[in-house]
Structure formats: C-alpha cells, structure tokens
Amino acid sequence: MIKSLKSVFANKSIRKKIIATLLLVLVYKILAVIPVYGVNTEGLKSIIDANKGLSFFSALMGGGLANFSIILMGLSPYINAMIIIQLLGVIVPKIGDLQKEGESGQRKITKMTRWLTLPLAFVQSYGMIVLLNSLSAGSTLVDLSDTQTVLMSMIIITAGTIFLVWLGEVMTEVGIGNGISIIITAGVLAGVPSVVSSHITAGTYPLFVGLLIATLFVIYVIIKFTEGNRRIPVIYTRTGREEKSYFPIRINQAGMVPIIFAVSLITFPSIIGQIMSRSTSDKASEIGRFLVEHFNMTNPSWIFIIIYFLLVVGFSFFYVSVTFNTENVAESIQKRGGYIPGIRPGKETANYLSKVSAHLNLFGGGFLALIAVLPYIMSKLMAQPNIDFIISASGLIIIVSVILDIVRKVDSEMKMYDYSKYH
C-alpha cells in the first residue's frame, strides 16, 4: 500500500491534482466558519443540539449551519435546481433532447442549472433564516423586522451558495474527482470529531465501540454493493472469428445521487411545518404541527421513514432512466459487430438491457434505500431517538462512493502514465 501511494505521488500530474483538491477543500472549510454579518450566533448551539436532523441536512448539503456561515445553504439550492431540471426533461421535450445530446447537451443543462440555482438560493435563504429564527429559544438570530439586515443576509447567503457551486466546478476541472461530491463528503466528515468527542465526554464507550464496529461493517457492505455488477455476455465477429467479451451493468447504477436528492426533498416538509405552525390560522397551524411531528429528522415517524425509502428508490429509477440510454448502448454494440447471445441486435437488445437494468435497479435502489433508513429504524426499535451515530448511513454511502470514484480516476491516470512511459 505504501509503495502504491509513493508511485501515485511520484506522478507529477496526479500530485498536482491532489494538492489542488486539498487546497480548494481548505477554502471551503474557511468559508464554513465565516459568519454572516449582523447575525447573533449565540443561540445557534442550542438549536443544533435540539435539531440534529437539521444539522445532518446541513452537513449532507455541504453547508455551514454551526456558524451561520456565508455558505449556510450549502449546495442545497443547486441540488434542488438539478432535480427540477431533470424532472423538466421528462415534461419539456427541448430539455429532454438536450439530456440526450451527450457532452454538448450536458454543458447547456449545467448552465441552466446554474441560472436556476440563483433564485432558489435567494428564496431558500429567507426560509432558512425564518426557520432558524423560529427555533432559537428566546434569542433572535436575525431581526426579521429589519428589512435591510434580512435582505443583506439573503444576498450574502445566496452569493455563498453560488461561490460554492463555482468552487466545486473548479475542483472538478483542476482536481481529482467530482468537486461537488468532494465538498459534500468534506461536510459529512466535518461532524465526525464532535460525535467521537461527545461519546468520550459522556463515557459511553461500549456504545461507541458498538457503533464503530457497525460503521466498519456497513462500509464493507457498501463497498461490495457499490462495486458489484452483472456481466452481460457480448460476442464480436471480427475477421471471420468470434471474440467473447461482456458489458457490465452495476447493481448500484445511480451511485449516491438518489440519497442526496431524497435528503434535499425530505427536509422541506419540516421547514414548511416550522413556519406554518406559527400561523394565526388554526388549520395552517395544525398542518404545520403535523409536518413537524412526522418529518422531524431527529426523531422521525414511520411516515418519514417510508417516504424517505420510496424517494431513494424512486430517484434511483429516475436517475438511471436519464443517464443509462439502452438504445445508444445497443446501437454501439451493433456498430462494432457485436451481439448478445440469444438476443437480436437493435431494438430487442435495447429492450433486454432495459429489462436487466430495471431488475438490477430494483434490487440496487431498494438496498440503497434500506441502508439510508437503517439508522432511523434502529433508533425506533431501540427507543433511542438521539443516538449519536459516528457517520450516518447516508453519509457513509456518499463517502464510500466518492472515495471509490477517486481511486478509479487515480488508477486510470496511473495506467495512462505507465502507457505513455513505455510507448
């Protein structure tokens, strides 16, 4: 392993990318501790302690809730914009065509997502300010009656989100791995030291050891699951002879995307509920209390768990339907003189691949969703709503996926380096 690391850092190109990534992550961490000007942050600790679900959401979105930082919203508006654009691709033919155009279409989709992020960040920043203000016990974080202060805070938080999106894109270009994913991973890992510290301070060593063993086991399972695939046999006819090959389809084709999308949506009912529960209307207040009670991420109800599970499965199918074009794959196989044994080339091959993909996705999406809701089910069964998990199962899926992606990219670059060295 040490020899492998030495060979990686001996490669100048990879070394530069790793250093660039680490420096940009450092910039992100600095942004996370810069508070919004004019905000009273004294009451934040009590809010975070009482609403660990909100803190988890902030970490998963790469936000800076702990300090009411300029990147308070994190990447949440950008992720919501991605969801909206992907959904519009199903409804609006023009956007749907762009999604099928490959790299050029993807560039236009990314540009549209950036523009949509701006108004979403502005609106969400106000919602988050109102929510945090309503959760602060006695102390006022932002004086809502001061329009100038509120507007300035919204502009700063919106600018923070836009800068964070730009930082992620720069990281993708000059660093190693997907920048947006790395920022989210850094946000998830940031909470680990405080959780470990809380267990040590409380003296809950048996629980901590048990959670550590469970975490390592879940990591092992996630790695096996993420790397698992089904190999579809393909035969290529070349110069009068047949060559056997295969086309791999991953069990977890969507990766960590369904988790991020689901978390981004599942937190909305609680945020809306907090605002509605303080309404002067009895009906609105009643609906608000219902949403707060059942969509509280700190102590979620079975309704929350079931909806979260279904959202992860649903987004798995939706994301794969957008990204895995079976017709293009079937056409590519046919053009290269290949065929799947027992399946006719062309449309029949595309239908077969769609069927296999759907079966794998049902298992993969279901397993992904089960891992995501497992901590909540454990909390329910153990009747301990506030268990301090070292890292949430959702966070583990994201971390493992990002690390495996980085390892694959480093391995690919090393192979290219070795090839250019000897040829």
SS (H, E, C) 162-194: HHHHHHHHHHHHHCCCCHHHHHHHHHHHCCHHH
CATH number of 1-190: 1.10.3370.10
> What type of residue sits at position 279?
S
CATH topology of domain 204-423: Preprotein translocase SecY subunit (1.10.3370)
- What pLDDT score was predicted for residue 159? 94
- Residue with tokens 């978390």, as numbered in its chain: 263
pLDDT at 51: 65
Q: How high is the pLDDT of residue 54?
A: 67
Distance in Å from the first CA to the final CA of the chain:
26
Q: Torsion-angle region of residue 38: left (phi > 0), alpha (psi -120 to 50) or beta? A: left
Contact 225, 400 (CB under 8 A): no
Name 313's Cβ contacts closer than 8 Å, sequence gap at least 6: 258, 365, 366, 368, 369
Strand order of the sheet with strand 229-238? 241-250, 229-238, 338-339
322 backbone dihedrals φ, ψ, rounded to 5°: -85, -40
**What is the rounded distance in angstroms from the CA atom of residue 220 to the CA atom of residue 241?**
42
Owner of token pair 């009590």: 46
Phi, psi (rounded to 5 degrees) for 188: -65, -45
Tell me, yes or no, if the two domains 1-190 and 204-423 fold the same way: yes
Residue 262: per-residue pLDDT: 87
Per-residue pLDDT, 116: 92
pLDDT for position 25: 92
Strand 338-339 versus strand 241-250 pairing type: unpaired
List the pLDDT tens digit at each of the 423 positions of the chain. Answer: 566 667 767 777 888 888 999 999 999 999 988 888 877 777 676 676 666 666 666 766 676 777 788 888 888 889 888 888 888 887 888 887 777 776 778 888 888 999 999 999 998 888 888 777 777 665 667 777 778 888 998 999 999 999 999 999 999 998 888 888 899 888 888 777 777 777 677 777 777 787 788 888 888 888 888 888 888 888 888 766 778 888 888 888 888 888 888 887 887 787 777 777 767 788 888 888 888 788 877 677 888 899 999 999 999 998 888 788 888 888 888 888 888 888 888 889 889 989 998 999 998 899 889 888 887 887 777 765 555 555 667 778 888 888 888 888 888 777 776 555 544
Could you tell me the residue ranges of all domains in the chain? 1-190, 204-423
Predicted pLDDT of residue 420: 55
Find the length of the chain.
423
User: 288: which 2 tokens?
Assistant: 């608000």
Beta carbons of 200 and 159 less than 8 angstroms apart: no
**CA–CA dist 28, 182 (Å, integer):** 10
